Structure 1
Amino acid sequence: MPRRRPGALRAQPRDSRAWGDFVPVRIHGISTDSTLAILRLERLSDDYFVYPGATDRALRRYRAFLAPPGRRPLYPQYSECGCRGCSFDDVRHARDVLDEVLRQLSSRPRAELRRQVVSLDAAYVRRTLPDPFAASRQWRSDLWWRRRLAGGREGE
């Protein structure tokens, strides 16, 4: 029986029935095995804000918030609405999603994701200012990233 050429094999469409409409994408800085564990957790999660691709989106949002060069303080902005898409306007919500995913992951993928988040957390603490009145302003003032000054638009 003749074998198929490699080009003919590559030209065949991939079977994406296992993932449904969502095509898995590797999360930058995370190994393939850990990325698959995170995607599996996102698919099986009951949390409204943890959905397929939410961890990658949260990491990208967190990095983008801390990306502007300089030493000026950064102020997280409040999101306009509480839906899945708009809630990522507030970088603190992105950190909430990362915290929820870290809480639910198994040990090896958790350690890998935690390494990424810890370095971003250190930059977040350096670039934002503490809010002395956070206990009266924030609904989740028990979380340290919610006890930072916020308001206005980012970049101002």
Structure 2
Amino acid sequence: MERFSGDYYVYPGATDRALRRYRAFLQPPGRRPLYPQDAECSCRGCSFDDVRHARDVLGDVLRQLPPRPRAQLEGQVRALDVRYVERTLPDPFAADRQWRSDLWWRRRIADRREAG
């Protein structure tokens, strides 16, 4: 699917990279909040500095996959989504600040760096 996608950000290996990035963001132990960071650049490589972009890519991939692989990936993403909601804080002003505030994972408070 990645090979034939017309999406600039969905290319061979992008799903794996997005999953690894999402997991890595949620990896730090503890209960302190985590804050997604903005990417310095929007190129294919740097854009993954923003975990929200990784989640965007996963959402795009899920929409393009056939039913069986979609269900398998959905299970992994859903588990990460639960942790993301637990470890990030809601942003009541996301509609004014966020480029894609229609996406729930972009309606979380972000910072310039990922630290708790």
Could you state the TM-score of these two structures normalised by the residue count of structure 2? 0.99
Q: Which has the higher contact order (CA 8 A, sep 6+)?
A: 2
Aligned length: 116
Residue matched to 2:53: 93
Map Cα deviations across residues 84-121 of structure 1 (whole Å, 9 max, x no partner): 00000000000000000000101000000000000000
Residue matched to 1:136: 96
Residue matched to 1:43: 3
Which amino acid letter does the alignment assign opposite residue 36 of structure 2?
Answer: P
Unaligned residue ranges in structure 1 (runs of 5+): 1-40
Q: What is the CA–CA distance in structure 1 between the aligned matches of 2:80 and 2:115, rounded to whole Å?
A: 18
From 65, 87, 91, give the equivalent of 1:127.
87
From 7, 31, 35, give the equivalent of 1:75.
35
Q: Could you tell me how far 1:144 is from its partner in structure 2? A: 0.1
Q: Could you tell me how far 1:151 is from its partner in structure 2? A: 1.1
Q: Could you tell me how far 1:152 is from its partner in structure 2? A: 2.2
Q: Structure 1 residue 56 and structure 2 residue 19: aligned? A: no
Unaligned residue ranges in structure 2 (runs of 5+): none
Which amino acid letter does the alignment assign opposite residue 64 of structure 2?
Answer: Q
Residue matched to 1:149: 109
Residue matched to 1:111: 71
Which amino acid letter does the alignment assign opposite residue 152 of structure 1?
Answer: R
Q: What is the CA–CA distance in structure 1 between the aligned matches of 2:60 and 2:112, rounded to whole Å?
A: 26
Q: Could you tell me how far 1:46 is from its partner in structure 2? A: 0.5
Is the partner of 2:2 in helix, strand or coil? helix
Is the partner of 1:111 in helix, strand or coil? helix
Q: Could you tell me how far 1:47 is from its partner in structure 2? A: 0.3
Q: What is the CA–CA distance in structure 2 between the aligned matches of 1:119 and 1:59, rounded to whole Å?
A: 11
Is the partner of 1:63 in helix, strand or coil? helix
Bigger CA radius of gyration: 1
